[in-house]
Amino acid sequence: MNWKEVCPYNPKLNLKDTYIYDTTLRDGEQTPGVCFTEEQKLNIARKLDELGIKQIEAGFPAVSKKEREIVKKIANEGLNADVLALSRALKDDIDKAPSCDVDGIITFIATSPLHLKYKLHKSIEEVEEMGMKAVEYAKDHGLFVAFSAEDATRTPIEDLIRIHKNAEEHGADRVHIADTTGCGTPQSINYICSELSKNLKKAHIGVHCHNDFGLAVANSLGAVEGGAQQIHCTINGLGERAGNASLEEAVMSLKMIYGIETSIKTEKLTEISNLVSKLTGIKTQPNKAVVGENSFAHESGIHAHGVLAHALTYEPIPPEIVGQKRKIILGKHTGTHAIQSKLKELGFEVGENISDEQFKEIINRIKDIGDKGKMITDADVIAIVEDITKRTVKSERIVNLEQIAVMTGNKVIPTASVALIINNERYITSKVGVGPVDAALKAIQSIIGEKIKIKEYHINAITGGTDALAEVIVKLEGYGKEITTKAANEDIVRASVEAIIDGINKIME
Ligand code: MN
C-alpha cells in the first residue's frame, strides 16, 4: 500500500519529462540581503549538479563584471547540468552571455499592459519586436534560447499566444510563463499553459512562479497539468520578495502526488536546503514542508502512536527519501510510554538504571519544559536524566549544597553566598567575582580549599531561547584525580554549582 493508492482524489495524469530548472543562483540571489561570494556560488552550483538538476540559471551577466566572472567559472566547472544566464531583450545584455561560456540564454521582456505603460513606456508591438530580435540574436550565437514573457499572468491571452508563437518561429527552444507577482491561480496558469500548448509546435513551456500569495508551488503544478514541462524553482523557495516556487516542495509534489519522477536525487534535498540556509543566513522555518526541522516530527501521543503503528497514518512522505529522519518529540502532549521508549532509546531503563521515583521526576521535568513551549531534544533528556539520577544519591555525598544566593547588576559587585554541608557540618561564605557564576564558584572554592581546583569550565545552551536549558561541563583536579562532570539547569548559576559540587564529590569519594 502506498500513499497514492490511499488518496483517491489525486490527479491521474500520464505526464512525463517534467523537469526542474533551478534559479537559486539568480532569482534566489535576488532575495533581499542575500549576496553569494564566488566560492559560495560555486559550492551551490556543484551541489545542485549533484542533486541532479539539468539546467542551472547561474546569474545575470549584465549586472557586473564580477557576476560575469562567477557565471563563467560555473560554466567552466565541468558540471553535468547546463548552465544558463539571464539577459534582458537587449543586444548588449545578450552579448555578455556567450563570453561567460554558458550553454544557454534566457531573454526576457515584460508584456503586461501595466509594465508596458508604467515601466517600459512602449507598445506591445514594440516590445514584441524587441523580444523577437533578442531571440534571433541569442540564437545566432548557437545557444539554447528561452524567451520569457515577464508578468505573463497579467498579459491578455491573445498577446501571449501571438508573442510565444512568434518566439518559437524565431528559434526559441522554450517559452516561459512568468507569474512575476504571484497573482495567478493554479486554474488561471493551467488555462494559459493549455492555450499555449495548443498553439506551439515544439517549444517547451516553462513556468516561473512567485510566492506572493504562497501559491508558487500550487501554481507550478497547475501549469504542469496544463502542459508545462518545466518548473522554475529555488532551494528553500528563495527569491525576490516572498520568493519563488520551493524546489523541495515542487519535486516532492511531482513525485508523491503526481507520480512524476524528475532527475532530482530526493535524498539530498535536506542537505542542500541546510547548506543554502547556512550560506544565506536565512533560517528555514521549522514547519517548512519537506525540509523543515518539524516536517517529520510527531509530538502528540495520538500521532506518535499512529505513526509507530503504520507510517502512512501521519507521514505522507517517508522521511528517508528526502534525507530526513522521523522524530518523536517529547513535550507536554507526550505520554508516559513515549518517554519510556525515548529513555530506552537513549540507554536508560526504568527499573534498572532509573528508579520509579526518578522516572516520575523525569516525566515532570520533561513536561515542565514542554509546558513552556520548548522542544525537548535528546540532549535535554540525557541532561535531565543525569541530573536527576545524580541528585537523588545526594544522601551518600560528602559535600552537599544547602543554599546559594547570588546578587548581580550594573551597580553592584557580583556577590555569591553559599552554604555547604560537608560531613554534616555547615560552612558558609560569601565571595565576589566578575559575574554571578564566578562569584559562586569562588565561594565554593574558598570553602573547599586549594586541594581541589577547577581546571576547565564550559557552558552550552542546549535549547534555544533565554529560558534554554544550560549545560555546564567542568573539569576538576585534586587528590591525584581529574574528573569531568556536567549539570543541566535553566539557571546557569545553579547548573554551574551543581556541576562543581558533583565533581567535588566524585573527587572526594
Ligand atoms: Mn523571478
Question: In this predicted model, what pLDDT tens digit does every residue of 353-375 receive, in sequence order?
Answer: 899 999 999 999 888 888 887 66
Give the chain's end-to-end CA distance (angstroms, integer): 59
Residues 214 and 302 in one domain: no
Q: Distance, CA 79 to ligand 1 centroid (Å)?
A: 24
Distance 418 CA to ligand 1 centre (A): 63
**What is the average per-residue pLDDT within 410-426?**
93
Location of C-alpha cell 543586444: 91
pLDDT over 90 at 56, yes or no: yes
pLDDT in tens, 447-489: 999 889 988 788 877 666 777 788 887 888 888 877 777 788 8
**Is-contact 457 446, C-beta < 8 A?**
no
| 285: in domain | no
Q: How far is the CA of 200 from the centre of ligand 1 (A)?
A: 23
pLDDT at 3: 67
25 lies in the same domain as 71? yes
249 and 341 assigned to the same domain: no
CB 163, CB 111: distance < 8 Å: yes
Amino acid identity of residue 254, one-letter, is L
3 occurs within a structural domain: no
User: Does 354 map to a domain?
Assistant: yes
Expressed in angstroms and rounded, the spacing between residue 144 Cα and the centre of ligand 1 is 20
Q: What is the pLDDT of residue 358?
A: 93
Residue 292 in any domain: the answer is: no
Average pLDDT of the chain is 90
Clarify whether residues 39 and 160 are in a common domain: yes
Could you tell me if residue 1 is inside a domain? Answer: no
Residue 332 lies in a domain: yes
Q: Tell me the CA–centroid distance for residue 76 and ligand 1, in Å.
A: 25
Q: Judge if 42 and 115 occupy the same domain.
A: yes
In angstroms, how far is CA 385 from the centroid of its own chain? 30
pLDDT tens digit string along 109-143? 999 999 999 999 999 999 999 999 999 999 999 99
Task: Give the pLDDT confidence of 298-310 residue by residue, as tens digits.
Answer: 877 788 878 878 8
Distance 211 CA to ligand 1 centre (A): 10
Average pLDDT over residues 432-444: 94
The one-letter code for the residue type at 8 is: P
Cα 416 to Cα 408: distance, rounded to the nearest angstrom = 9
Q: In this predicted structure, what is the pLDDT of residue 476?
A: 85
- Whole-number Å distance, alpha carbon 226 to ligand 1 midpoint, is 21
Assess whether 197 and 114 both reside in one domain. yes
Calpha distance 386→506 (Å, rounded):
14
For residue 208, report the distance from its CA to the centre of ligand 1, in Å. Answer: 7
List the domain range (segments joined by +) for residue 416.
Answer: 399-508
Residue 414 lies in a domain: yes
Q: Between 375 and 21, where is the model more confident?
A: 21
Q: How far is the CA of 239 from the centre of ligand 1 (A)?
A: 7
* Tens digit of each residue's pLDDT (9 = 90 or more) over 158-184: 999 999 999 999 999 999 999 999 999
Query: Higher model confidence: residue 401 or residue 4?
Result: 401
Ligand 1 center from residue 128 Cα (angstroms): 20
Give ion ligand 1 contacts, CB < 5 A.
27
- Of the ranges 16-20, 190-194, 351-355, 388-392, which is most confident? 190-194
User: What is the Rg, in whole angstroms, of the alpha carbon atoms belonging to the chain?
Assistant: 31
CA of 317 to the centre of ligand 1 (A): 29
Spatial neighbors of 201 by CB under 8 A, at least 6 apart, are: 168
Q: Which residues of 295-326 are buried (b: 16+ CB within 10 A; e: fewer)?
A: bbbbbbeebbbbbbeebbebbebebeebbbeb
User: Based on the structure, what is the number of domains in the chain?
Assistant: 3
For the chain, percent of residues with pLDDT exceeding 90? 66
Q: Are 385 and 407 found together in one domain?
A: no
3-state SS class at 109: strand
CA of 112 to the centre of ligand 1 (A): 15
Hey, CA dihedral for 289, 294, 300, 304, is it positive or negative? positive
Q: Is residue 2 part of a domain?
A: no
At 393 the pLDDT is: 42
Q: Ligand 1 center to residue 407 CA distance, Å?
A: 56
Cα 503 to ligand 1 centroid, rounded to whole Å? 59
Q: How many whole angstroms separate alpha carbon 313 and alpha carbon 2?
A: 11
Q: Is residue 222 predicted with pLDDT exceeding 80?
A: yes
Ligand 1 centroid vs 110 CA: distance in angstroms?
Answer: 12
pLDDT over threshold 50, residue 98:
yes
Alpha-helix residue ranges (DSSP H) falling in 141-178: 157-169
Indicate whether 439 and 411 sit together in one domain: yes
For 316-341, how does the pLDDT look when each residue is reduced to its tens digit (9 = 90+)?
999 999 999 888 778 888 878 788 87
CATH number of the domain to which 457 belongs: 3.30.160.270
**Angstrom distance (rounded) from CA 28 to CA 308:** 38
- Do both 410 and 374 map to the same domain? no
Among 249, 280, 311, the domain-final residue is: 280
Same structural domain for residues 127 and 259? yes
Q: Which of 211, 246, 280 is the last residue of a domain?
A: 280
Is the model's pLDDT at 1 over the cut of 70?
A: no
| 229 and 198 inside one domain | yes
Instruction: Show which of 364, 389, 414 is a domain's final residue.
Output: 389
Identify whether residues 172 and 256 lie together within a single domain: yes
Q: What is the CATH number of the domain that holds 170?
A: 3.20.20.70
